[in-house]
Structure 1
Amino acid sequence: MRIAIRLAVLAPLVALLLAACAPAPIYQTPPGTVAATPMQVAQTPERYARANVIWGGTVVSVKNLTNDTEIEVLAFPLDSSQRPRLKGNAAGRFIAVLPGYVESLNYPQGSPITVSGTLNGSRAGTVGQAPYVFPLVKVTQSHRWTADEMQRGHPNIHFGVGMGVGIR
């Protein structure tokens, strides 16, 4: 009887602790999300107008404007948790447009980031001296990954069962 009471008390606590282990939001892929890479979208941006995307990569630069902040991102494929796989080949570049002011020091160059949002046109620019077309993503959700989140991959969850002895 006492064991059942202890389990009933501990079960919600264990569930809460397991939920706290999640490293970051796992993006749900909404209907209409395109699987195209930024490089593919840059070639024919009109084909993907207003499509939903989930893209990630590393921060190249941050530019604060009057009403928005633009983050240039070097894109990489995402893993099953939507983390950028930085050891793969780059998949182009894009500009993530976040509403309002974003502190650029919170997004240092090289930081891994994942964004979800809607394609909102494109902009001609340059990478070095080469011309480049940047797809623009109006961001609805973003996450900058910490070094710890990137290194551990998936959370380490350990579960144990113990037994106590009482003396009367």
Structure 2
Amino acid sequence: MRFSVASIMSRCLVPAVLLSLAACAPAPIYKPAPDAVTVAPFQVAQSPEQFASRQVIWGGRIVGVTNLADHSEVEILAYPLDKSQRPQANDSGNGRFIAVMPGYVESLDYPAGGLITVNGQLHGSRAGKVGQAGYVFPLVQVNQAHVWTTEEMRKGKNNVHFGLGVGVGIR
């Protein structure tokens, strides 16, 4: 039985490349409950009573923080999450929601424009405004929250490119 170099390379290289690409994506940061809601915030806002007390893992871009007497509220423009539960900010928004956090939240730790993922229970909704337009915000009583760093958002992104020829990349 004869093996060509190309045959051996393809038998060894293809599985190795597939394994390395699969290993690039970090694991999800939160474990979803069996009854977790998988719909977007704008869908929950249409009938919040249908989803009362259900768990969600949502994320998006921080719009702002409001500190109140006994809790803080973080308004978030929702984005779909990838398999690692990182917000996909290049997607169109999926509505807005308010993350209700116990105690005082430092706005420097939750900066406007930052990306966040929260794990918590739906706890009703509240009418408010986005600009001059009326809006219904689902409220999420937060158990855990993670603000993503730029480095964490880059992790797991496929930086490997295949092709023929010569190329120069400058970053």
Give TM class, smaller chain: 0.7 to 0.9
Q: Which residue among 45, 66, 69 is the counterpart of 1:42?
A: 45
Task: Give the TM-score normalised by the residue count of structure 2.
Answer: 0.75
Separation in structure 2 between the aligned mates of residue 71 and residue 27 of structure 1, nearest angstrom:
19
Could you tell me which residue of structure 2 aligns to residue 78 of structure 1? 81
Choose the corresponding residue for 2:126, options 123, 127, 133: 123
Q: Which amino acid letter does the alignment assign opposite residue 61 of structure 2?
A: T
Identical-residue share of aligned pairs (%): 60
Identify if the C-alpha distance between structure 1 residues 152 and 126 changes in structure 2 by more than 3 Å, giving closer, same or farther. same
Gaps of 5+ in 2: 1-24, 160-171
Residue number among 137, 153, 156 corresponding to 2:156 in the alignment: 153
Q: Is the 8 A contact 1:23 1:155 kept in 2?
A: no
- TM-superposed CA distance for 1:23, in Å, is 6.8
Contact 1:23–1:149, Cα closer than 8 Å, also in 2: no
Which position in structure 1 is the counterpart of 2:101? Answer: 98
State the 4+ residue runs in structure 1 displaced beyond 4 angstroms. Answer: 22-25
Counterpart position of 2:34: 31
Provide the C-alpha distance between the structure 2 equivalents of 1:110 and 1:74, rounded to a whole number of angstroms.
10
What TM-score does the superposition give when structure 1 sets the normalisation length? 0.76
- CA deviation after TM superposition for structure 1 residue 30, in Å: 1.0
RMSD: 2.0
Q: Which runs of no fewer than 5 residues in structure 1 stay unpaired?
A: 1-21, 157-168
Structure 1: distance between partners of 2:158 and 2:39 = 29
Flag the 1:73–1:56 CA change in 2: closer, same or farther, 3 A. same
Give CA deviations for 1:46-76 in whole Å, capped at 9, x if unaligned.
1111110000000000000111110000000
Equivalent residues in 2 for 1:48-63, closer than 5 Å:
48-63=51-66
**How far, CA to CA, are the matches of 1:98 and 1:154 in structure 2?**
31
How far 1:130 moved relative to its partner? Answer: 0.3
